[in-house]
Amino acid sequence: MPNEILASLISTGGTIIVAILAAAISYGVGRGMKTHEWRLGIVREKVSLRHRLYTEFLAEADRLVLQGLEAKTAQASAFHTLTARLSEIELIGSDSVVEAARGVCGSALASHAAADAEPKDAFYDIKRNFVSAVRREISEIEGPS
């Protein structure tokens, strides 16, 4: 009888140990998955925020440049939206994106100067530099695929 009790205790003890190990592994894997999902969510939010901001900034710069072709604006308040977006970019953008954004903003403002100092094609080169900097920044945020 004592051998049967000992065998039963060993069997029960082994089952309990295996159950504890399985629970620990399950917890570790679940926690790792949640952490990974959380990090992916943060990356998704960062990319989404930048996409919205950079698109609005470029749309406003394009609008101002096109408006500058028709008539020059003398009111500084007409540039508020563009400069507000530039301020947001300065807060969250990388150095290369901020520098490129300043170039786009300066070019849009210059398109309303009394005498056009830079040709209209220069704006699109500056804009292309901005887009390239944005693509690099977003690629860095997303990390390796």
Q: How high is the pLDDT of residue 91?
A: 95
Q: In 3-state terms, the chain is what percent helix, strand and coil (to 5)?
A: 85, 0, 15
Q: How high is the pLDDT of residue 114?
A: 66
Q: How high is the pLDDT of residue 138?
A: 93
Q: How high is the pLDDT of residue 87?
A: 96
Residue 56's pLDDT band (cuts 50, 70, 90): very high
Distance between CA atoms of residues 6 and 45, nearest Å: 58
- Over residues 66-118, the pLDDT tens digits come to 888 888 877 888 899 999 999 999 999 999 999 999 999 999 988 887 665 55
Q: How high is the pLDDT of residue 98?
A: 97
Q: How high is the pLDDT of residue 89?
A: 96
Measured in degrees and rounded to the nearest 5, phi and psi for residue 102 equal -60, -35
Query: Is the model's pLDDT at 42 over the cut of 70?
Result: yes
Q: Using a cut of 0.85, tell me whether the model's pTM lies above it.
A: no
- Over residues 5-17, the pLDDT tens digits come to 877 878 888 888 8
Instruction: Work out the widest C-alpha separation in the chain, in whole angstroms.
Output: 107
Task: Report the first-to-last Cα separation within the chain, whole angstroms.
Answer: 62
For residue 46 the two structure tokens come to 């960062």
Averaged pLDDT of the chain: 88
- Over residues 14-27, the pLDDT tens digits come to 888 888 888 888 88
Residue 45's pLDDT band (cuts 50, 70, 90): very high
